[in-house]
Amino acid sequence: MKKNILVVDDSALMRRVICDIINSDSGFQATDTCRDGLEAYEKLCQKAYDAVVLDVNMPRMNGLELLERLQKENIKATVVMVSTLTTDGAEVTLKAMERGAIDFIEKPNNLIETKGQRFREKLIKVLATITAAGSTQTYQKKVITNVVKPAAVRKIRTKDAARSKIVAIACSTGGPKSLQSVIPLLKSNMDAPVLVVQHMPAGFTKSMADRLNELSPLDVKEANEGDVLEKGHVYVAPGGKHLLVQRLADGTHCIVLSDAPAIGGLRPCANLMYESLMDSGYDEITCVVLTGMGADGTKGISELQKEKNVYVIAQDEETSVVYGMPKAIAETGLVDEIVPLESVADTILKNVGVN
């Protein structure tokens, strides 16, 4: 049976193009269309859809306002945002995910790209992933207030310090929202730096890192070439770059960003991050695999555990938007703990400790 999709966009051309793409696949049908969020709200009050493709900027009720209405009234829907690749677009996309959107696709800049193969493949792939996962969400409010950070205190660390630790997190579909249930709950004095690979395009990762930084007691940033890793800091891989770790002559470690080709269509790729830690000086590596489609991270962790003392934490199926990446690593038998999303931060802290 075909999956029923609701398309919401104020552009008649965009509605037609998206509907044509959806209807061209045997697994989907564009059942209904709406010109704005208000029409969509009325539809969603009366009928359930397998997914909603939602534009941001629309008259009467825009995409964010619709998500807020759904959240307020606990109306179930699986929403994919269509967002522009701009700074403003990235910030709006992150806000949409905070309000319950599952994933997003980049809106093409012109008609040729809109009708192109890349946009079609991305749209169908996202719809296939979220509808197969049964990831319909109830939009329940969860308010996280901004955190005031204490003044930074730098410690002098010597080479004969206690066993050195690092945390490396991998996530994809559903990851931005899930990270908001993990990173803000970590402690600024945790005894390890944190690396994050989230599958997102360039531009979106900076907005995500900035938002996590506002919400968290520890410092969060989009990683730059040459950043020296410090405990209590989080480094997010930039979209379009692979994140690697390099050991320096003085025993410290720094970030190396690579323009190497995408691996399985992914750049950043978590497998490369984990594999780069094989030559590091870290004694204990906590690997965390959160929600996401595919199996990124599994190969890298499998190789890493042959050389290093590795502790693997995977998100459970019930709280994963897409139980792909956590399932893949769990099936290897390498996972030490499978926990619900709300327990991930505590599990990390329990394993690495604080200063």
pLDDT digits (tens, 9 = 90+) for 300-340: 999 999 999 999 999 999 999 899 999 999 999 999 999 99
Percent with pLDDT over 90 in the chain:
74
For range 143-160, the mean pLDDT = 38
Give yes or no: residues 104 and 177 share one domain.
no
Q: Tell me, what's the pLDDT at 85? A: 57
Q: Is residue 158 part of a domain?
A: no
Extract the tokens encoding 334.
């390498």
Domain coverage including residue 33: 3-138
Q: Tell me, what's the pLDDT at 116? A: 81
Give yes or no: residues 110 and 187 share one domain.
no
Q: Tell me, what's the pLDDT at 87? A: 59
Q: Is residue 159 part of a domain?
A: no
Residue 135 pLDDT more than 80? no
For range 288-297, the mean pLDDT = 95
Q: Is residue 157 part of a domain?
A: no
Q: Tell me, what's the pLDDT at 89? A: 73
Give yes or no: residues 183 and 130 share one domain.
no
Give yes or no: residues 310 and 199 share one domain.
yes
Give yes or no: residues 200 and 328 share one domain.
yes
Give yes or no: residues 239 and 341 share one domain.
yes
Q: For residue 279, give the nearest of 311, 254, 298 by alpha carbon.
A: 254
Give yes or no: residues 134 and 169 share one domain.
no
Residue 152: pLDDT band (50, 70, 90) is very low
For range 284-291, the mean pLDDT = 97
Residue 74 pLDDT more than 70? yes
Residue 151 pLDDT more than 90? no
Residue 136 pLDDT more than 50? no
Give yes or no: residues 346 and 249 share one domain.
yes
Residue 86: pLDDT band (50, 70, 90) is low
Q: Which of 15-24, 46-55, 104-113, 137-146 has the lowest mean pLDDT?
A: 137-146
Residue 110 pLDDT more than 50? yes
Catalytic positions, written as ranges: 172, 199, 296
Residues paired with 247 in a beta bridge = 253
Instruction: Round the average pLDDT of the chain to a whole number and report it.
Output: 89
Pairing of strands 76-77, 137-138: antiparallel
Read off the CATH number of the domain in which 343 is found. 3.40.50.180
Read off the CATH number of the domain in which 104 is found. 3.40.50.2300
pLDDT digits (tens, 9 = 90+) for 235-286: 999 999 999 999 999 999 999 999 999 999 999 999 999 999 999 999 999 9
- How many structural domains comprise the chain? 2
Give yes or no: residues 77 and 188 share one domain.
no
Q: Tell me, what's the pLDDT at 147? A: 45
Burial track 56-86 (b if 16+ CB lie within 10 A, e otherwise): bbbeebbbbbbbbbbbeeebebbbbbbbbbe
Q: Is residue 22 part of a domain?
A: yes
For range 150-162, the mean pLDDT = 37
